[in-house]
Chain A
């Protein structure tokens, strides 16, 4: 029992440190990829290829003055960024990151908690992360913030149905909610990937995932050209940074979930070992998010609601019905 507690704590700390470092690195990657797609160089001057830019940004964020606006609800204003960041990491707890490996004669399963309702837990934790922007926008006594949080509510009401229903069809096929079972169900190589059986669900889940992480086609809650910074208007320093760490951690989580559920997870592909395979898949999904941000315009809130309720939800329901009939 003690060993289990120590192991879990160590895993949690490792995941927290690695993913928050990766989230910082993600900002660097995003700036670089966006720059290349616009024929710019991106950060170049701090360290080799601008790699230490993350460090410089971190120092800047940590040493900035932490301002709480005069009429803001002080407690909620200060707690809100922690909700976003914390739920992003809590969601990662039920995600198996790599295949099992042996270190110093001790078999390690790189998942903090193998829940039997893993996928539900991940989606629920990520969905509760939306409380961060919602409360932040309402607590800061700023009109842009209010608009931002109103849009958060719209976004939440729209995509969450699609996320849940689109992932329902793969759940029906696999017959389990554990992400490890999802992974094991696709162990037979590329032909066994869920994406071939559920292409519609895959596309719908990706669309909903973009909405879930507030990425560009659906980044209406902090779109600079319209609502300054939305819910993050009044934030500065590390509180603002925590929103960003949360957002990038969410991107990583969604990438992991999409690769585990639909494209074979951490099963080895041919000569590529399992841990490398999942790193490649997650990198692809992460790159896809940056790529889409560079390419596509974003939608209006009413278009998002229209899209989610009138187009995507009927498609998911038809998809579930067909899957059910085929399974019977």
Chain B
């Protein structure tokens, strides 16, 4: 089914296929005929065969549908929006955040707080950064607005907690420096899409 067809809410205009109902038997003879037809047609045995085939497929062909959840996990989309991650620059290992405060401003549930100061090189550094996951609704605005791909959504979705307010500090979300070598160019939520170049229109300079 194509997307247009799927999104079409104009119900009533489609061509529905009516399942052929045979006429309801009127006389006793017709009823008896239908009973005999249904009895001898073997439809019940088709049902038996379907379940048996499913059982053998599940047992011997690995078509079991169960995922043993805490031990196995289904793959999730790279665009999934779970607990945030703070990324580092791949070359220097310094954190990417420039302390611009856009994420704090755009956050619609007011759960990001940050404090910044100038370091000795007159460069902004983050002194405090917390996200209250008790309030966060994982809308993804912070990751969208971040100009440096510093705050992104990761894939940690098991986030139950014993308290309503559950804070995460900057250092908790920051990629540990020793695992930096495993960090790839981030493809998940917050990163530009792979076909971003195709979607960009050049601004005409004639304005």
**Could you tell me which A residues sit within 8 Å of B by CB distance?**
33, 36-41, 44, 291-292, 294-296, 311
Contacts and interface: CB of A to CB of B under 8 A. Distances in A.
Interface in B43-73: 44, 47-48, 50-52, 54-55, 57-59, 63-66, 68
Contact of B63 (A39, A41, A296): A39
A39 B54 CA distance: 7
A113 to B, nearest CB: 37
A39 B48 CA distance: 15
A296 B64 contact: no
Contacts, number: 39
A171 B51 CA distance: 35
A104 B191 CA distance: 80
A41 B66 CA distance: 6
Contacts of B68: 41, 44
B196 to A, nearest CB: 41
Contacts of A41: 64, 66, 68
B35 interface: yes
Interface string B91-111: 000000000000000000000
A291 B64 contact: no
B44 A37 contact: no
Interface string B7-42: 000000000000000000000000000010000000
Contacts of A295: 44, 47-48, 50-51
A220 B65 CA distance: 30
B65 A39 contact: yes
B27 to A, nearest CB: 15
Contacts of B65: 39-40
Q: When A and B form their complex, which 10 residue pairs have the shortest distance between CB atoms, in order from nearest?
A: A295-B47, A39-B65, A37-B51, A295-B51, A41-B66, A36-B55, A39-B58, A294-B51, A37-B55, A295-B48
A291 B44 CA distance: 12
A40 B48 contact: no
Contacts of B52: 37, 291
B66 A40 contact: yes
B51 A39 contact: no
A150 B5 CA distance: 50
Nearest to A297: B47
Given A33-B55, A37-B55, A311 B47 contact: no
A295 B50 CA distance: 8
Contact of A311 (B35, B55, B64): B35
18 contacts: A33-B55, A36-B54, A36-B55, A36-B58, A36-B59, A37-B51, A37-B58, A39-B57, A39-B58, A39-B64, A39-B66, A41-B64, A44-B68, A292-B48, A294-B51, A295-B47, A295-B51, A296-B47
Contacts of A38: 54
Contacts of B50: 295
Contacts of B54: 36-39
A258 to B, nearest CB: 17
Given A291-B51, A291-B52, A292-B48, A40 B35 contact: no
Contacts of A311: 35
Contacts of B47: 295-296
Nearest to B44: A296
B28 to A, nearest CB: 10
A291 B48 contact: yes
Nearest to B45: A295
Nearest to A306: B35
B114 to A, nearest CB: 45
Contacts of B58: 36-37, 39
B58 to A, nearest CB: 5
A33 B56 CA distance: 11
A38 B51 CA distance: 8
B29 to A, nearest CB: 14
Contacts of A292: 48
Q: Tell which of B48, B51, B59, B65 has the most Cβ of chain A within 10 Å.
A: B51
A37 B59 CA distance: 9
Nearest to B48: A295
